[in-house]
Chain A
Amino acid sequence: MNVLLIISGYLSLLLLLGWGSGRMFRGTSRDFFVASHSIGPFLLLMSVFGTTMTAFALVGSTGKSFERGIGTYGLMASISGLIHMAIFFLIGIRLWALGKRHGYLTQIQFFRARFESDGLGYILFPILVLLVVPYLLIGIIGAGKVIEPVTAGAFPDLFTNPTIPAWVGGIPPWLTGLVICIVVLTYVFLGGSRGAALANAFQTVVFMAMGIVAFYFVVQSLGGLEQAGKVPMRITEDGSLVQDYRFDQKAGILMEQDPPKKIGQVLNFTNSNLTDRHPHLGRDPIVVEFKKKNPKTGELVPFERELGIPFITFVTYLFIPLSVGMFPHLFQHWLTARNARAFKLTVIAHPLCILIVWVPCVLIGSWATGLLPPGIPPPAVLSATLNMLVGDPWLTGLLTAGVLAAIMSSMDSQFLCLGTVFTNDIVVHRAGSKVYSDSQKLKIARSFIVIIVAVTYLLAMAVKNANVFDLAIWCFSGFAALFPLVFSALYWKRATKAGAIASVLTALISWAWFFHQSGYGGEYFVGPGIVPAAICFLVSAGALVVVSLLTSPPAQSTIDQFFPSRS
């Protein structure tokens, strides 16, 4: 119950912050959409970082490390540090400058002008919505997965149908999702872009601080860093996967298991070099078989899992972080910057913030392989580990609030962005800028946000067992496939309207094909382990180049506007 009190307190604090930022709201649509270009360096860093790091960063990274090991950090985090930094520097500043100079509020306005095409906006709008929605889904699903285990037993008579039997009485995912949607909706309604930026900054500080605190207590419980490094599951001489330790929750100490507990088996075990190795601390791909209990029948069901990461997968994953260049909500955050200098801190500190958040999560995920049953849903690994190792309800409550902070700090920007895009790029664009008053524009944006929240919530309930990490990767892959569009818009004068449309359609078709092949959201690789995003990116870039070269170049006035020169 204490956990619930802390979480409720935290959500109330957010509502208070929303009320406060509502008082700073200037009442104009420009203030609602881009905070009147008034955001300074620290708020920009926190809001950009908070937006890019969602359930994916905390819940997803821990779960993925639990599945594949420490290679998860190089796979997504360190490469993101490099690519995001470069994108903020090479693309973010230019987009901000062009947006500020020409008054763009959305990405689509920029693309319409750069590619001299009204139709491009109508093609892009549904695609952007289609890709942002899964991003929102992972937030709602992630929150549900986190809250249920840490509140297990709170209402045993009320919530009798848990995800797994041990979590009976915990707050069910549908209720958690509903509550966080309402909280986010409230502060976005009240404060718009500034409210989202302030809430993001606050929540980013909270989740970074709580991440460090969680890590400290987990390390303490495991007997220090050196000892924790010995905890992950181990391969024995006969290819069994064993857990050498267990955590005695009553005594609060780590105990050696003698004999070790067998939890799985390496398939086709012939390589004696694997003996005594901890597969989650390296990256060699190994296929293993585990068993998990069917929650309904109690029967043990075998399932296979690939540990480690194939090298080709690791290399081609570099295409996925390119997605930030096309995130519409990030574009909107860039436009909130007071001046170009506000970007400096973000360029420098973003890789460090990634380091601070991801390293502890990845370590916790790999250590948890030696303590938790292998069949536990990956998104629940973080909270189940905290519950087991930290135990103290107040601390668990604070740490859970940190996870919620990470989740909500992304959802707010995405909700706001979809409202902004719909209002400006569809409604106002079609009717003309003088048809609607400022207050009518605000009403339209807020109404669309409510519709999107409702649709997203219902979708999240329909796919509540989806893997947060894999769903996020699909979302990022779609945006990464669109990256050639923004890069060529800024760096290639010869890129044409037809080339841009060809690129967008090719990206959409190739992404949809692979998404379908994956069974709509599962982990999927092409051939020896190539990430679909790499192929989608390459065909999209190829279509852009070929079609642009085959069609007439843009008008000189357009080139002058987007590639300015002065003598």
Chain B
Amino acid sequence: MSVHSQTVPMRTFWLFFLVLLFVHQDFWNWSDESLVGLGMPIGLFYHALFSLACSALGVWAVTRAWPTEWEKYAEEKSPPSTKSNQIRKGDSEQ
């Protein structure tokens, strides 16, 4: 199993993300100044609700698309050959 194997939940996450990205462009409220919930103008109230939707997507992501494999990968002992953070000048730029 690959650490990149959570294909379906990740694709769903991206789909939700793109939908929210579109929903964010609320040109349909652009000129509307009417005051709605809590005395807020609609252009602000809409985006406050949008923030709640982002949080809901966060809940979905951590419950349905959590990258468990990466979590396990981090906790495993690193083999000596992968200690390449010590790359020094000349090591790799031949």
Q: A residues near B, CB below 8 A?
A: 70-71, 73-74, 77-79, 81-82, 85-86, 89, 93-94, 96-98, 100-104, 109-110, 112-113, 116-119, 224-226, 228-229, 277-278, 281-284, 311, 314-315, 318, 339-341, 343-344, 347-352, 354-355, 359, 362-363, 366, 429, 432-433, 497, 557-558, 561, 563-567
Contact = CB atoms under 8 A, between A and B. Distances in A.
Contact of A74 (B4, B47, B78): B47
13 contacts: A70-B43, A81-B55, A97-B74, A117-B87, A118-B91, A118-B92, A277-B33, A283-B30, A343-B62, A344-B66, A355-B52, A433-B86, A565-B1
B84 to A, nearest CB: 4
Do most interface residues of chain A lie in helix, strand or loop, or is the interface mixed? Answer: helix
Contacts of B84: 102, 113, 116, 558, 561
B88 to A, nearest CB: 6
Contacts of B78: 101-103
Contacts of A344: 62, 66
Given A351-B54, A563-B4, 18 more contacts: A70-B43, A74-B50, A82-B50, A85-B61, A96-B74, A102-B84, A103-B78, A116-B92, A118-B93, A224-B39, A229-B35, A283-B43, A318-B24, A340-B70, A351-B58, A362-B44, A558-B84, A564-B73
B7 interface: no
Interface in B43-88: 43-44, 47-48, 50-52, 54-55, 57-59, 61-62, 66-67, 70-71, 73-76, 78, 81-88
A81 B50 contact: yes
B3 A566 contact: yes
Nearest to A109: B85
A117 B58 contact: no
A366 B35 CA distance: 13
A215 to B, nearest CB: 11
B59 A348 contact: yes
Contacts of A355: 48, 51-52
A395 B61 CA distance: 40
A118 B89 contact: yes
A341 B63 CA distance: 11
Interface of B: 1-4, 13, 17, 20-21, 24-27, 30-33, 35, 38-41, 43-44, 47-48, 50-52, 54-55, 57-59, 61-62, 66-67, 70-71, 73-76, 78, 81-93
Given A70-B44, A74-B43, A93-B70, A284 B31 contact: yes
B67 A94 contact: yes
A82 B33 contact: no
B57 A85 contact: yes
Contacts of A366: 41
A339 B66 CA distance: 13
B41 A93 contact: no
B51 A354 contact: yes
A73 B44 contact: yes
Contacts of B32: 282
Contacts of A102: 78, 82-85
A94 B3 CA distance: 10
Residue picked from B24, B51, B52, most chain A C-beta under 10 Å: B51
Given A118-B88, A284-B31, A74 B24 contact: yes
B30 A225 contact: no
Nearest to B46: A74
B62 to A, nearest CB: 4
Contacts of A354: 51
Nearest to B76: A101
B47 A284 contact: no
Given A78-B24, A281-B43, A282-B41, A347 B61 contact: yes
Contacts of B89: 118-119
A85 B58 contact: yes
Contact of A352 (B44, B52, B75, B76): B52
Contacts of A70: 41, 43-44
A77 B74 contact: no
B52 to A, nearest CB: 7
Contacts of B55: 81, 85, 348-352
Contacts of A433: 86
A52 to B, nearest CB: 14
Given A118-B92, A564-B73, A565-B4, A78 B51 contact: yes
A112 B87 contact: yes
Contacts of A347: 58, 61-62
A109 B83 CA distance: 11
B21 A318 contact: yes
A317 B18 CA distance: 16
A74 B26 contact: yes
